[in-house]
C-alpha cells in the first residue's frame, strides 16, 4: 500500500483508509 500512495504522508492516508473500509463494511 505504501508504494501506491507514496511514502511519508501517504502512509498516514492509507492507514486511515484501511481502517475506514472495515468500519463501513461492518
Distance CA 6, CA 16 (A): 15
What is d(CA 11, CA 6) in angstroms, rounded to the nearest whole number? 7
pLDDT at 13 over 70: yes
Comparison of pLDDT for 23 and 1, the residue scoring more? 23
Residues 6+ apart with CB under 8 A from 11: 2, 5
**Band of residue 15 on the pLDDT scale cut at 50, 70, 90:** confident
Query: Is it the case that residue 5 has pLDDT exceeding 60?
Result: no
pLDDT for res 6: 58
Quick check: 18 and 4 in contact, CB under 8 A? no
C-alpha cell at 26: 461492518
Per-residue pLDDT, averaged over 9-22, amounts to 75
The better pLDDT of the pair 23, 3 is held by 23
Phi, psi for 11 (deg, rounded to 5): -65, -40
Amino acid at each position: 500500500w505504501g508504494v501506491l500512495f507514496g511514502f511519508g504522508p501517504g502512509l498516514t492516508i492509507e492507514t486511515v483508509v484501511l481502517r475506514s473500509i472495515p468500519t463501513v463494511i461492518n
